[in-house]
Each structure stands twice: as C-alpha cells, then as structure tokens.
C-alpha cells in the first residue's frame, strides 16, 4: 500500500466547482493505486473573515478561543471534500485535527506539531477507506484544546503527514504551476524549474518567495519528504509542477537557482553606540524579546570609542523596534546618540547550491548592480545565498538585471 499526500490551498477549494475539480484529481490518484491523505485549507478568504470576526468581538482576544473560531474554516472544507468524493463513489471520510489526533504544543495561534499517531487512519485504510480528508492548519494541545499552526500552516500539516505516514510524495496544489526562477510579474523571462533542492527552496521561501511556507520546507528537508508544487488549474499530468527534493536527486542545475525579493523591509541604524564587549547582546536581546525579526546586521568601524549598528527588519516591526530601543536606553542597558529608520528599502537575493563550488558569484552580483547604477546599503551572505538591501525604487530593475546576468531564463 502506497500513501500519497495531496494538499489543496484556499484558492483551489474556493468554490464547490473548485472542490469538485480537486476531487477529480484525488480520484485519479486513487485509480493509480494510492491511498490518499488530502489536506485542505479553508475556502479562499474564509480565514481572514473569521479573524476579522474575532478582532471585532474582542480586540484583546483569548488565543484559545481565537483558535476555536479560525480553525472552523478548514472543517467546512474537509466535510465538503469528503462528501464530494463520496458522490464520486470513492470511500472517503473527513478528519478534524483532534480526531487524528494531531498533537501540538500549547502555543495557541502558533503551535508546533509534536506527534501524528498513524494508527487511526491506517486502520480505516485497512477497512477500505481510500481517502482521508484532513482539516489542515489545526491540531490539539496536551490540555485538549484546539490549536492552530499559524498562517500557512496547512502546508506544514501536509508535510508532517507525509513524513509520519512515509508517503511516496507530498503534492501541494496552489494557484501557481510551480516554482519559478523569480516572480513572473517582475520579468517575463522567469522560467519554471523542473526541480529545486530543499536548501534552495528554504532560502527562497524565507527571502520572500511565497510559493511554500518556510516551516513546511524545513520539515520536508529534515524528513526527506519529496514535495511537488503544482497548479490546481492546469491539465493533469505526471510531470507537472516543480519537484522539491534532495540535492543528490538533481543531475544538473544552474549556479544560481533563483532571484528572491522582499519589498517590506526597513533599515535601522543606531548611531553613536558604545563600542564595548556585550553591546550587540544589549541591543539584540531587547529586540528579540519584543518579537522583532532582525535579519541583516552590520557594525561600522569604531570611531573614538563609538560605532554605528545597522540592522534590517520587516517594515511593520519598525515601531516595535523603536520602542524596544527607547525602553532599553531608558533602563540604562544601552546608550546611543540617535536611531534612524529607512523604510524605503527592499531586499534582493540570489540563491543557489552551485555557489558552494563556484567562485565570483557575489562579485558578479555586485558588478551587475553597479552597472545599473544601484547602490548597495547592506550585504549579508550564506553558503548558498547573497542578499543586499537597496532602495525600493530599484527593485524591479535589480531583479531583471540579476536574472539576465545569471542566465536564469536558460536551463543548465
């Protein structure tokens, strides 16, 4: 018995007609001999509506009740999908998170999966059930309360089920037909990738590519779950979409796999900070406690015992960062002459496992941006990534120029 996991996002189940279309895809896999675990999201727009109800009812809401409300959207979709499959004479049953049970931590609205026991669903497969339709995004805490995994959590649910049941593959159906070298809305030369390594996908997801949720890619890499990203709206075929897999499963690839970007970045500079041991901890400790997601960090050369410390963070966390620094200064933990926030920047990154074995990739990136008259404000690198902060007005130009410079419109 082989198990296949299929996950359908909100746009793929937005209407009854789309649920029927998704059910036909499930039926095709059942006909191919698979037992299928289907993970469904809420219908498009439903979760936002439910969140709005909660916030309007109780601005300082109880997170446990928040989870009880917002998880209900997936329950509706799961039931409708199971009914649709039954009408197609395919033995199917819907399962809510607590019925599996998918056991999570108690961190409501941001729970993490602890365990997925397989006995209940495997027993039903053994009795003739062919499809288990699981409400994604949700589980149950050790205290017996409904929990949710955070926005995009249905992707994480799907990969976790694929790992727990040792599925042959996890297919993620969405409104795009795969992973592209960059956003096709930025450049028409963007090319769909047939395969991409876990590490590359993880970097792209964390850097702004919204095809897959970061936690789901982390799980897939940890448990070597093959992921396939494909569209619910394209014709069904065995070679559709993009396969996210281990590096050794890719025969040839370009040095750079893709160009990612994030528009919603801010650059913050603490001026006149004392240059002494422990100053970085004194700055970034309060920021972490305030929930500020710091990314790039640059410290200037010391001048007369003081230095400037620059870091980037999401633009919607600027106010939180300013307050954390002001509070730390008032408490005497740090001292600085000023705090300057630049909210007109963006982050552009190149990603590729080929960087490990090819010299000069960063230099080529910097040369390309220079030739376009684009000034780099901050740089950060890893083994397979180079990211820069630049003025937001140059985002499209930078992405297009880098895409051309590294020949991403051509396969390796």
Q: What is the DSSP code (8-state) at residue 384? A: T
Does CATH place domain 2-175 in 3.40.1160.10? Answer: yes
Q: What percent of the chain has pLDDT over 70?
A: 99
Q: How far apart are CA 82 and CA 131, in angstroms?
A: 8
Bridge partner list, 387: 349, 380
pLDDT for res 177: 87
pLDDT band at 208 (very low <50, low <70, confident <90, very high): low
Q: Was 168 annotated as part of a binding site?
A: no
* Tens of pLDDT, residues 213-245: 888 999 999 999 999 999 988 877 767 899 999
Q: Was 307 annotated as part of a binding site?
A: no
* Tens of pLDDT, residues 120-136: 999 999 999 999 999 99
Question: What Cα–Cα distance (Å) separates residue 250 from each residue in 247, 253, 257?
Answer: 6, 7, 12
Among 387, 325, 401, smallest CA distance to 352 is for 387
Helix, strand, coil percentages (3-state) for the chain, rounded to 5, are 40, 25, 35
* Tens of pLDDT, residues 76-117: 999 999 999 999 999 999 999 999 999 999 999 999 999 999
What pTM was estimated for this model as a whole? 0.83
pLDDT for res 300: 82
Mean predicted lDDT score pLDDT of the chain: 93
pLDDT band at 140 (very low <50, low <70, confident <90, very high): very high
Domain ranges in the chain?
Answer: 2-175
Helix axes 63-70, 72-87, angle to 10 degrees: 20
Q: How far apart are CA 162 and CA 171, in angstroms?
A: 10
- Residue 403, H or E segment: helix 395-405
Angle at 289 between CA 297 and CA 387, to 5 degrees: 25
pLDDT for res 214: 86
pLDDT for res 53: 97
Q: How far apart are CA 378 and CA 367, in angstroms?
A: 15
Q: Was 74 annotated as part of a binding site?
A: yes
Full DSSP string of 175-220: SSSS-BSS-TTT-TT--B-SEEEHHHHHHHHHTT--SS-HHHHHHH
Q: Was 10 annotated as part of a binding site?
A: yes
Residues 6+ apart with CB under 8 A from 118: 164, 165
Q: Was 180 annotated as part of a binding site?
A: yes
Poorest-pLDDT segment among 205-214, 245-254, 297-306, 320-329: 205-214
Q: Is the pLDDT of residue 303 over 80?
A: no
Q: Was 177 annotated as part of a binding site?
A: no
pLDDT band at 247 (very low <50, low <70, confident <90, very high): confident
Peptide bond preceding 101: is omega within 30 degrees of 0, i.e. cis? yes
Q: Was 112 annotated as part of a binding site?
A: no
Q: What percent of the chain has pLDDT over 90?
A: 81
Asked whether 275 and 302 are in contact (CB, 8 A), the reply is yes
Residue recorded with tokens 């795969």 = 178
pLDDT band at 151 (very low <50, low <70, confident <90, very high): confident
pLDDT band at 61 (very low <50, low <70, confident <90, very high): very high
Q: Is the pLDDT of residue 251 over 80?
A: no
Asked whether 218 and 205 are in contact (CB, 8 A), the reply is no
Among 137, 112, 99, smallest CA distance to 13 is for 137
Q: Was 289 annotated as part of a binding site?
A: no
């Amino acid at each position: 018995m082989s198990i296949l996991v299929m996950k359908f996002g909100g746009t793929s189940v937005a209407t009854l007609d789309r649920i029927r279309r998704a059910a036909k895809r499930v039926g095709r896999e059942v006909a191919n001999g698979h037992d299928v675990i289907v993970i469904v999201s809420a219908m498009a727009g439903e979760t936002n509506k439910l969140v709005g109800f909660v916030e309007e009812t109780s601005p300082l809401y109880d997170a446990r009740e928040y989870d009880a409300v917002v998880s209900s959207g997936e329950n509706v979709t799961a039931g409708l999908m199971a009914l649709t499959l039954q009408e197609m004479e395919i033995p199917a049953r819907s399962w809510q998170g607590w019925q599996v049970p998918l056991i999570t931590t108690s961190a409501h609205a941001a729970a993490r999966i602890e365990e997925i026991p397989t006995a209940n669903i495997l027993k039903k497969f053994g009795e003739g059930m062919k499809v288990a339709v699981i409400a994604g995004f949700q589980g149950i805490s050790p205290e017996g309360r409904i929990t949710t995994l955070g926005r995009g959590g249905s992707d994480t649910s799907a990969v976790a089920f694929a790992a727990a049941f040792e599925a042959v593959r996890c297919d993620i159906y969405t409104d795009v037909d795969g992973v592209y070298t960059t956003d096709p809305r930025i450049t028409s030369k963007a090319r769909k990738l047939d395969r991409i390594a876990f590490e590359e996908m993880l970097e792209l997801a964390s850097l702004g590519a919204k095809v897959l949720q970061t936690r789901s890619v982390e799980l897939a890499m940890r448990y070597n779950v093959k992921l396939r990203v494909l569209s619910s709206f394209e014709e069904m075929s065995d070679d559709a979409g993009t396969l996210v897999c281990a590096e050794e499963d890719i025969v040839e690839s370009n040095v750079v796999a893709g160009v990612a970007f994030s528009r919603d970045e801010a650059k913050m500079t603490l001026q006149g900070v004392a240059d002494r041991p422990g100053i970085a901890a004194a700055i970034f400790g309060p920021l972490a406690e305030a929930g500020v997601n710091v990314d790039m960090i640059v410290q200037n050369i010391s001048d007369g015992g003081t230095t400037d410390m620059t870091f980037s963070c999401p633009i919607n966390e600027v106010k939180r960062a300013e307050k954390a620094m002001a509070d730390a200064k008032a408490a005497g933990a740090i001292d600085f002459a000023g705090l300057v926030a630049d909210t007109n920047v963006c982050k552009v990154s190149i990603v590729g496992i080929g960087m490990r074995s090819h010299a000069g990739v960063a230099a080529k990136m910097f040369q390309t941006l220079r030739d376009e008259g684009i000034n780099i404000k901050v740089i950060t690198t890893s083994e397979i990534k180079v990211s820069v902060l630049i003025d937001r007005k140059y985002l499209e130009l930078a992405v297009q120029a880098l895409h051309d410079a590294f020949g991403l419109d051509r396969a390796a």
